[in-house]
Structures are given as C-alpha cells and as structure tokens.
Amino acid sequence: MPHSSWLKAAGAAFAVALATATAAHAAPAPAPAPELTAVTGVAAVVTLHYDDSRAGGWEAAIAAGVASWNRNVGNVRLVEAAPGTRAEIQIVATSGWPQATLGPVRPGGQVRVELGSQAVSQGYDKTRIATHEMGHSLGLPDTKPGPCSQLMSGSAAGTSCTNAVPNATERSRVESAYAGGLASLVPTDGRTLVDAP
C-alpha cells in the first residue's frame, strides 16, 4: 500500500475512533421538560401572622394554641409577626369575656382576638380559650351547646374542660376554608363573637 493511501486510511480510522469516543462521552440530550399540571397533590399553605405584644400574661396559652393549630391543620400556618410588622391576627388581653372577629382572615386582612380575664376568673382554661378564639379567626363559629371534644363549644363545655385540640370536623372546616391557597378565601365575616356562658 502506498504511503499516501496508508495515511488516508489511518486518518479516516482515527477520525472514526475520535467521533465514536466523543459521542460516548458527550452529555446526553436534555430530557423534555415535564408538563405542568394544575393539580400537584401539594396543598398551598397560607401563612397568617399574629401579634401578641399586647397580650401580657397569655404568652404560654397563645404559644400552645398556635402549636395546636399548626399541628392539626396542614394548609394554614400561624407565625408570630416580627416586631413593628403588620399582623393579620391582633391578640390583646382584656378584662372582659373572650371574643374574636369571625374569619377566615385573609393574608393582608386583619381580625382581633381579645383574651378576657373574666373567663379565667370564672375558672376556664387559658389555653382552651386562646385556641378557641384563634379558631374564630380561622373561620369557625361557636358550636353551643357542645361537648368538651368540640373546641368551638367554648364555655358551653364547662370549666372542667381543658381540651385545646380541634376535632376532625373543625380541622376539616378550616382546611376547606383555606383550600387552594389565596384564591378560594372568602372575605372575613366581620362579626365579633363573644364567648360568655
């Protein structure tokens, strides 16, 4: 084989080997982007901020109430507002009976919770009171008369009741009120519910 033919054949073989090696180490073609679907199976979480800076003496009860709601409802998260920032839920200590604005409160909206010492002086449990009044902010009305197992039965359950956990129906109603994130929220009712016997 003449020298020039041999060089051409060797060059061609080298080019084929180089192309094969390059193809073997090349990055694979990107996969097509997955289609976005309207239903992802993940619930949108609505974050609501609360301000308890004017609820002196109720801090432990408020913390327990917030923990109860955050533990039992998946699509709403109660978070303490940073000092000087706006909060959807204003919590204050008063000398009267506990009361609250009926929600569900929207992010950017505002409701008021009054944690009244008159109920405590009558023997009612502070944590149940705080959790119950926050339930109003989340859109739950009173269910009076009702058993202790219903958080929203409030004072109707008597002073011996310390249950501060929403039952399945109460959890479901809050989940339904906040389903789909912001889009499905109805405006706050605006009524003030007083929890006196």
**DSSP letter, residue 192:** E
133 belongs to the catalytic site: yes
CB atoms within 10 A of CB 35: 5
105: nearest Cα among 43, 168, 50: 50
The encoded tokens of residue 25 equal 């180490």
Sign of the four-CA dihedral 140, 152, 195, 119: negative
Catalytic residue among 35, 88, 114, 133: 133
- State the Cα–Cα distance between residues 144 and 155, nearest whole angstrom: 8
- State the Cα–Cα distance between residues 130 and 155, nearest whole angstrom: 12
Under a CB-based contact definition with an 8 Å cutoff, are residues 183 and 79 in contact? no
The catalytic site residues sit at 133
